[in-house]
């Protein structure tokens, strides 16, 4: 088969052609290239507003692509070594939900770790799929959930031979990868599909010496946040499938929730970013790895901070560690990650990706320079000097093993009542609650509330975590199932 030319950007070219033709538009968007909304045009600039187009004959249709979008999808598929690639403009959330809804109908079982993003739990509510949770490995020191162990997955498959799929994070927010190849081989040997959340793994497809990507590992589907480490605009993603024969069915499922007004700015950003990484990805990510390696080595010279690196690899629950992520454990200096996050922002004008109860994560990308990394290192050194405290009494874990009473969908749609969170121990959750980021529910619909969970919520809140997910934005009351439900 002849390879497609990765230097092409068919969507961008078609958009350019539309603009060059000076088409008189009696279609939406109603701002008509900004003429109808000068304030927005001035804010975005002439170029961006001109390219904010909607589906037209020459521009194809995202829900039923047969022209430039379909061709651009085929080019992207080759770049990712996938059977097919879908352009996604509703965030990776839409890709995660499509993966789960493509393989699970209501009542079907799916095996997954509990440290998944809220989009996966929401997909269980939407689809009615039944979760079979496998506890991720836990690092005792770091207190975080890792990847799933293969023996635990096998046990879950043997106990649930009707399970349709295993869902895997590759990597977790912190950059931890399970043994994905081993998991795929294991699941496929039982006829179970493998779906991979690669929101944080776009670069695995394009760099050298990085952890294995889902498609290379033989997984069936993957949700890839091009907008996170791939350079496209926020909210744009790819959904990849291994087998092109599944394309029609997956598109039908995607169209259940995907917009019918796909933004061409987002589509163009996916097209251009795919070209950029297909042509330059190796050098881009080599540069990122070099910069991150330098940052890690320097951080290791500052006693008190613990840097996540390949020393964590154990061949199973930690099959690999993403070398592009700068994850740092901060609790030994008596500060939670969220406190360090806040100090960096408030005192040093440095914005990092997130901080949680024990760690911070700084995303280093091709947009960064060694000068910026030096600023971060200097700030962290200074923070330790100024703010170091006695760490005793700090909460020592991020992951609480859930007790499941009802399926997420059953609990979400059940008769509920509102109770103060502080008095909810022993009740069954009807909504989910989490710190965002990382967006992993502390408790999800159908799970039993406990004193330990309540303590975790208020501890995280007191340290400055943004707690979200429940209806009551003051984080006082929650919906639980009525007692007789």
Strands 221-224, 193-198: parallel, antiparallel or unpaired by DSSP? parallel
Count each helix (H run) and each strand (E run) in the chain, helices first: 16, 18
Distance of CA 95 to the CA centre of its chain: 10
Task: State in angstroms the smallest separation of the CB of 236 from ligand PLP.
Answer: 8
List, as one string, the DSSP characters of 266-327: HHHHHHHHHHHHHHHHHHHHHHHHHHHHHHHHHHHTSTT-EE--GGG--SSSSSEE-TTEEE
Report helix, strand or coil for 443: strand
Stretch that binds ligand PLP, among 47-55, 90-98, 253-261, 317-325 (CB under 6 A): 90-98
Q: Which of 62, 103, 199, 444 binds ligand PLP (CB under 6 A)?
A: 199
How many residues touch ligand PLP under the rule CB under 6 A: the total is 12
What are φ and ψ of residue 374, in 5° steps?
-60, -40
Task: State in angstroms the smallest separation of the CB of 301 from ligand PLP.
Answer: 30
Q: What mask, x for binding ligand PLP by CB under 6 A, covers residues 410 to 449?
A: -----------------------------x----------
What CA–CA distances, in Å, run from 466 to 122, 319, 437? 19, 31, 8
Q: Extract the tokens encoding 457.
A: 């919520």
Rg of the chain on CA atoms, in Å: 23
Nearer to ligand PLP, 205 or 305 (CB): 205
Residues 105-124 that bind ligand PLP (CB under 6 A): 117, 119
Stretch that binds ligand PLP, among 92-100, 141-149, 250-258, 345-353 (CB under 6 A): 92-100
User: H-type helices in 207-246, by residue range?
Assistant: 214-217, 226-229
Task: State in angstroms the smallest separation of the CB of 175 from ligand PLP.
Answer: 12
Nearer to ligand PLP, 34 or 438 (CB): 438
Q: Extract the tokens encoding 320.
A: 């690999």
Strands 165-169, 193-198: parallel, antiparallel or unpaired by DSSP? parallel
Stretch that binds ligand PLP, among 86-94, 150-158, 346-354, 384-392 (CB under 6 A): 86-94
CB atoms within 10 A of CB 79: 19
410-437 in b/e burial notation, b at 16+ Cβ within 10 A?
bbbebebeeeebeebeebbbbbbbbbeb
Q: Which residue has the tokens 């030319």?
A: 5
What CA–CA distances, in Å, run from 105 to 69, 102, 124, 125, 374? 29, 8, 10, 11, 50
Task: State in angstroms the smallest separation of the CB of 268 from ligand PLP.
Answer: 18
Task: State in angstroms the smallest separation of the CB of 122 from ligand PLP.
Answer: 10
Nearer to ligand PLP, 150 or 227 (CB): 227
Task: State in angstroms the smallest separation of the CB of 37 from ligand PLP.
Answer: 27
Stretch that binds ligand PLP, among 87-95, 240-248, 253-261, 360-368 (CB under 6 A): 87-95
Q: What mask, x for binding ligand PLP by CB under 6 A, covers residues 214 to 253?
A: -----------x-----------x----------------
Nearer to ligand PLP, 174 or 264 (CB): 174
CB 113 within 8 A of CB 42: no
Stretch that binds ligand PLP, among 65-73, 89-97, 371-379, 411-419 (CB under 6 A): 89-97
Task: State in angstroms the smallest separation of the CB of 35 from ligand PLP.
Answer: 32
Report helix, strand or coil for 467: strand
Nearer to ligand PLP, 34 or 113 (CB): 113
d(CA 85, CA 83): 7
Task: State in angstroms the smallest separation of the CB of 173 from ligand PLP.
Answer: 6
Q: Does 173 bind ligand PLP (CB under 6 A)?
A: yes
Task: State in angstroms the smallest separation of the CB of 120 from ligand PLP.
Answer: 7
Report helix, strand or coil for 250: helix
CB atoms within 10 A of CB 349: 9
State which residue has the least CB distance to ligand PLP. 91
Task: State in angstroms the smallest separation of the CB of 81 from ligand PLP.
Answer: 21
Nearer to ligand PLP, 96 or 166 (CB): 96
Stretch that binds ligand PLP, among 43-51, 85-93, 158-166, 261-269 (CB under 6 A): 85-93
Task: State in angstroms the smallest separation of the CB of 136 from ligand PLP.
Answer: 13
CB 306 within 8 A of CB 299: no
Q: Which residues bind ligand PLP (CB under 6 A)?
A: 91-93, 96, 117, 119, 173, 197, 199, 225, 237, 439
């Amino acid at each position: 088969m002849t390879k497609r030319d990765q230097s092409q950007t068919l969507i961008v070219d078609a958009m350019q052609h539309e603009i060059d033709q000076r088409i008189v538009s009696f279609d939406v968007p109603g701002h008509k290239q900004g003429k109808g909304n000068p304030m927005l045009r001035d804010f975005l600039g002439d170029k961006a507003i001109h390219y904010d187009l909607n589906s037209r004959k020459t521009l194809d249709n995202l829900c039923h692509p047969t022209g430039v979008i379909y061709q651009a999808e085929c080019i992207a598929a080759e770049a990712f070594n996938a059977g097919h690639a879908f352009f996604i403009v509703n965030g990776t959330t839409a890709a995660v939900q499509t993966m789960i809804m493509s393989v699970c109908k209501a009542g079907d079982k799916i095996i997954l770790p509990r440290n998944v993003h809220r989009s996966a739990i929401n997909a269980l509510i939407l689809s009615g799929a039944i979760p079979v949770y496998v506890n991720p490995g836990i690092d005792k020191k770091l207190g975080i959930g890792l990847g799933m162990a293969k023996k635990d997955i096998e046990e879950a498959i043997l106990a649930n031979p009707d399970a349709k799929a295993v869902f895997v994070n590759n990597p977790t927010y912190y950059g931890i990868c399970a043994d994905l190849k081993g998991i795929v081989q294991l699941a496929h040997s039982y006829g179970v599909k493998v779906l991979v959340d690669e929101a944080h793994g776009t670069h695995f497809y394009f760099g050298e010496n990085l952890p294995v990507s889902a498609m290379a590992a033989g997984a069936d589907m993957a949700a890839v946040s091009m907008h996170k480490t791939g350079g496209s605009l926020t909210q744009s993603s790819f959904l990849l499938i291994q087998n092109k024969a599944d394309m029609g069915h997956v598109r039908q499922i995607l169209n259940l929730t995907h917009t019918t007004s796909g933004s061409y700015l987002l589509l163009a950003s996916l097209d251009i970013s795919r070209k950029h990484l297909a042509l330059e990805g190796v050098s881009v990510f080599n540069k990122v790895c070099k910069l991150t390696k330098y940052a890690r080595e320097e951080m290791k010279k500052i006693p008190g901070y613990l840097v996540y690196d390949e020393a964590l690899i154990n061949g199973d629950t930690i099959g690999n560690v993403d070398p592009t992520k700068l994850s740092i454990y901060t609790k030994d200096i008596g500060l939670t990650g969220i406190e360090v996050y806040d100090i960096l922002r408030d005192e040093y004008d440095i914005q990092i990706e997130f901080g949680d109860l024990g760690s911070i994560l700084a995303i280093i990308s091709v947009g960064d320079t060694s000068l910026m990394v030096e600023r971060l290192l200097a700030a962290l050194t200074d923070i330790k000097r100024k703010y170091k405290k006695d760490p005793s009494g700090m909460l020592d874990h991020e992951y609480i093993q859930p007790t499941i009473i009802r399926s997420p969908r059953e609990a979400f749609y059940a008769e509920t009542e509102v109770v103060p969170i502080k008095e909810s121990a022993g009740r069954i959750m009807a909504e989910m609650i989490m710190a965002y980021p990382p967006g992993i529910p502390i408790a999800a619909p159908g799970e039993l509330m406990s004193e330990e969970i309540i303590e975790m919520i208020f501890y995280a809140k007191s340290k400055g975590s943004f707690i979200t997910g429940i209806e009551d934005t003051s984080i006082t009351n929650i919906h639980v199932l009525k007692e007789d439900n």
